[in-house]
Amino acid sequence: MKIRPDLVAPVKIAGAQQGNSSGKGFADLLAQKVAEVDQTMRVADQQSAELLAGTGSIHETMIALEEAGIKLRMAGAVRDRVVSAYQDLTRMQI
């Protein structure tokens, strides 16, 4: 079976052609994601407080807490990867 190049859609990688011209670097992206994790944690805290006050739903509270936990674990994994990459770079001999 032959693949016809005229039928294959070109694959585009987000931001690959634009490069860094958008002004958004890795540090900005990392700061944005940390802010999102912080906001998720705040929502989970608010849901917990509402549940304790008797006005919240246990279902919504558990969803918010689980979402916050997942995002926090993901942020920890990203942090570990960034630290590992930095350590690899510092060990390189030039």
Q: Does residue 85 form part of some domain? A: yes
How many domains does the structure of the chain reveal?
1
Q: Does residue 18 form part of some domain? A: no
For residue 30, what are the domain limits?
26-91
Question: What is the pLDDT, as a whole number, of residue 93?
Answer: 84
Q: Does residue 44 form part of some domain? A: yes
Q: Does residue 12 form part of some domain? A: no
Q: Does residue 66 form part of some domain? A: yes
Q: Does residue 58 form part of some domain? A: yes
10-37 in b/e form (b: 16+ CB < 10 A) is eeeeeeeeeeeeeeeeeeeeeeeeeeeb
Q: Residues in the chain with pLDDT < 70?
A: 1-23
pLDDT in tens, 52-65: 999 989 999 999 99
Question: What is the pLDDT, as a whole number, of residue 80?
Answer: 95
Return the structure tokens found at 69: 């936990």
pTM over cut 0.75: no
Question: What is the pLDDT, as a whole number, of residue 5?
Answer: 58
Q: Does residue 8 form part of some domain? A: no
